[in-house]
Amino acid sequence: MELYNPKQIESKWQEKWEGEGAPRAKDFDSKPKRYYLVEFPYPSGAGLHVGHVRSYTALDVMARKARMEGFNVLYPIGWDAFGLPTENYAIKNKIHPRQATEKNIAVFRQQLKQLGISFDWSREVNTTDPDYYKWTQWIFLQMFKHGLAYKAKMPINWCPSCKIGLANEEVVNRSTSSGQASVCERCGTETERREKEQWMLKITAYADRLLDDLETVDYSERIRASQVNWIGKSEGAEIAFKITSGSPSINSGTDFIEVFTTRPDTLYGATYVVLAPEHEIISKLQLKIENWAEVERYLEEAKKKTEIERVAEGKEKTGVEIKGIKAVNPANGEEMPVFAADYVLAGYGTGAIMAVPGHDNRDFEFAKKYGLPVVKVIEEKGLDSRSVIGNDKKKSENDKMSDREDVKEVYEGDGVLVNSGEFDGMESEEAKDKITKKVGGKKTVHYHLRDWIFSRQHYWGEPIPIIYCRKCWETLNSIRQSADETLNADFIEHPRRSRDNIKTQNSKLKEGFDYVVIDGIEYAVVPVGEGELPVELPEVESYEPTETGESPLSAMEEWVKIKCPKCGGEARRETDTMPNWAGSSWYYLAYATRGISNDEFLISKNKEVLKYWMPVDLYNGGMEHTTLHLLYSRFWYKFLYDIGAVPKEVGPEPYARRRSHGVVLAEDGRKMSKSYGNVVNPDEIAERYGADALRLYELFMGPFSDAIPWSTNGLKGVRRFLERVWSLKDKVVLPQGQGLKNDLKKLMYKTIKKVGEDIEAMKFNTAVSQLMIAANGMAVVKELPRELWEKFVKILAPLAPHLAEELWEGLENKESVFREGWPEYDEEALCGETVMLAVQVDGKLRALVEVSAGATEEQAVALVREEEKIKVWLAGKTVRKTIFVPDKLINFVT
Ligand code: ANZ
Ligand code: ZN
């Protein structure tokens, strides 16, 4: 008997699939299309991860099956190749990042081919290819022209050692002696926050549509919920609190703090006001502040923390009272203290809150620490106040002060108002509106979603195609001055509201007045002409960031200096590059338009081909990309749709269905990591056990969306299964004489049905186990009819393609098994199948009843209760519980 030799089999078939056998998607083919998409990898130096294998194999199974079913399948792959790790590697090893990238891609490509993933390699894309990023830059220019790209001063994470601005994703959280700290990913130094002019993309303009359109797509619930949370739509009101000051001589009486609250119904319970440390009004009121030195010290401290640290749950709240000023509660005229505290964030709402410690946990913690009063103003419906207050003695209604001291628990829900003047007895929902109205508040909606910081001070990214021109600025300046006067007036009125800031910025952009200040000199912002794209990355000597934190490109004087495309004057280039989220925001369109000349990628003719392929039928990727990448790419797609780069017929969403695979953990249950030394290398596994074994094991390891630890035993089990399948071929008899043996035939039908349905439902683990059941069934017969064996090989093919091809060829077939149709099964034959169900009453066997196999509990109960024998035993009794084991047993507990 010939032994199963995957190495030989696999390299043989991989070679065949390279040439004529290569799977190709055909634009405009008359067959129905299927577009399967996996997140393209970042070609890191570490090579392919077993996590990639899980996702890529799963969709490979679906793609291969769909081809057999007669679909024109697009299953492409490419490289998301810009990014910091490659840049760091290049700096360390003194090679060009492009060289490092090419080397890594070659390794990845080889690895993927060795796994037998049926990608259409003719459509490969690479985000670092100038022909590709030309279009990434083109999209940026369109956004700029539509007022969606603007420059603003933003707080960034600054590494004082590397002298570089880091994006949030480049900062890691680490525990230090002083608690959690944010440190630089490169060097481990604690980061600070700094303000820097950055390019921003206005994703918030799409917040509502990104939220509402989730209704029109099929995303798993986990993914949908995390998108909803990330967008964080929050409806509430803005309410103004007047500021008074102890020294009336300098009190102009016109200062207000505007707060954003989702709970205006709790206004009577506000006992202090909190400002974010960055709130502009603090410095504006400096003259009135009695403890300025102390306040300033606190503001400095707050700068060192990241937002994540600031809002971390359970972290001790800090703050400082701003002495010398008070805020007036507009509902009851009570004066209350004002604090600066970093649990209030500058970038959300108005950057100021009214604190209601009786009904908000964060405020409660803070109030306890600083000895501030806590007032209960909401009573849970249907409870008396005793249980809410958590105190044993019930207070008399008008004993408000002592009520304040006794509140020990926070009630965050809605309810009925108390201690709220004329609103007592009203329900929260109604009171929200009425109180807002009474105090002249304004109903508003805020989103947790922020605009996207789009600048990076790195080399290895797409250059932002913008030019700064001094001469254009001078020409425009005279017009600008008059326009600016009105804009400035607006700006002074709402200095702290970033949204207004943005509006100002944008109206400037639209009118062509946008400018930046570089080293104290103003320049007009001029977009690079579309015909000049791509703006290619220049060759630089060093990829290290500059001393000032500017991008390495800024040191390239010959590249930076350029003639202004508008006036021909001396101008300079933007030296920031795009984040590595840029190229991945539209790559699914690049695959679909791959057959088109690069000059037309997103313009003109391609519309038809996009109509043909889009939307993506199924997009699978990591749960960790659910918020950033998935949201960013939906945003870019919607924008392209709005400007007509994507045809209307495709609809406003790029992905019809989105799923996520669970992480593959190490055998020890921890995350795989070089530092733990527990990384499983897919190459080594494929070498030792075979690619088919690796594929099948990762499909079999557990439910697709669950995190699963690696198990070498599990892998060995799968390998033994493949060996068993291999040995079955020796029992095949051809041609077969009489009809198939009935039970074997049924088993095969059942297997075809289950494997097919499970693959579509992405239940790969149960599909594999059904194949195992079938193999066991075939192992016990002496002769295996060829017809049956053929069916088995076909349904095995998408999962273990190498072995299936070899077995198919062994049946003297000339063509690939993937040219075959997906086998059918006889539904009726399956329906006819019956089993004997053991029926118990109170645990005692009372009858054996024949029911159709796979009957549900409901069906079985209905049938069984009609049986005379059972009727007798159940007469006069009530069934309290039914225990049902499908196809085996039913037990009535009375
Ligand atoms: C008073 C109040 C009473 C609040 C109460 C809550 C409960 P979401 O739902 O996340 O939008 N808040 C507003 N701006 C903030 C900022 N910049 N930083 C930190 N917290 C801020 O949360 C809205 C609530 O979070 C607002 O409603 C405000 O506290 C706080 F019983 O106002 B609330
Ligand atoms: Zn110019």
Segment (H or E) for 466: strand 466-469
Report pTM.
Answer: 0.82
Separation of alpha carbons 148 and 545, rounded Å: 28
Separation of alpha carbons 51 and 3, rounded Å: 30
Q: What is the pLDDT of residue 485?
A: 61
CA within 13 Å, CB half, 340? 27
**Which of 229, 235, 259, 261 has the most ligand 1 atoms within 8 A of CB, as the residue to mutate?**
261
- pLDDT higher than 90, residue 238: yes
Segment (H or E) for 338: strand 335-341
CB under 6 Å to ligand 1: residues?
234, 260-263, 266, 276, 344-345, 348-349, 351, 353-354, 356, 359-360, 446
**Which of 230, 233, 262, 377 has the most ligand 1 atoms within 8 A of CB, as the residue to mutate?**
262
Q: What is the pLDDT of residue 388?
A: 40
- pLDDT higher than 50, residue 503: no
**Bridge pairing between strands 272-275 and 352-355:** antiparallel
* Phi/psi at 347 (5° precision): -85, 5
Strand partners, 539: none
CA within 13 Å, CB half, 343? 23
Between 398 and 762, the more confident residue is 762
Separation of alpha carbons 673 and 524, rounded Å: 48
Q: Which two tokens stand for residue 215?
A: 């209704």
Among all bound ligands, the one having the nearest atom to the CA of 445 is: 1
Percent of the chain with pLDDT over 90: 65
The per-residue pLDDT for range 419-443, each reduced to its tens digit, is 999 999 999 999 999 999 999 999 9
Separation of alpha carbons 301 and 308, rounded Å: 15
Distance 467 CA to ligand 1 centre (A): 41
Q: Which two tokens stand for residue 672?
A: 């795989």
Distance 565 CA to ligand 2 centre (A): 7
Q: Which two tokens stand for residue 384?
A: 């008396």
Q: What is the pLDDT of residue 404?
A: 46
Task: Tell me which residue has its CA closest to atom 28 in ligand 1.
Answer: 261
Task: Tell me which residue has its CA closest to atom 9 in ligand 1.
Answer: 234
Q: What is the pLDDT of residue 311?
A: 76
CA within 13 Å, CB half, 278? 24
Separation of alpha carbons 792 and 769, rounded Å: 13
Which of 469, 12, 442 shows the shortest CA–CA distance to 236? 442
**Residues 532, 534, 540, 542: what is their CA dihedral angle, to the nearest 10 degrees?**
140
Distance 353 CA to ligand 2 centre (A): 45
- Answer whether 345's CB lies under 8 Å from 276's CB: yes
> Strand order in 521-527's β-sheet?
515-518, 521-527, 466-469, 570-573, 561-563
Question: Quick one: pLDDT band at residue 397, thresholds 50, 70, 90?
Answer: very low
Q: Fill in the amino acid letter for 72.
A: N
Task: Tell me which residue has its CA closest to atom 1 in ligand 1.
Answer: 261
The per-residue pLDDT for range 346-388, each reduced to its tens digit, is 888 999 999 999 999 999 999 999 999 999 999 998 765 443 4
- Answer whether 769's CB lies under 8 Å from 730's CB: no
Structural domains in the chain? 6-138+581-665 (3.40.50.620), 139-202+453-573 (no CATH), 234-446 (3.90.740.10), 832-894 (3.10.20.590)
Q: What is the pLDDT of residue 863?
A: 82
Question: Quick one: pLDDT band at residue 482, thresholds 50, 70, 90?
Answer: low
The per-residue pLDDT for range 527-556, each reduced to its tens digit, is 999 999 999 999 887 787 777 778 889 888
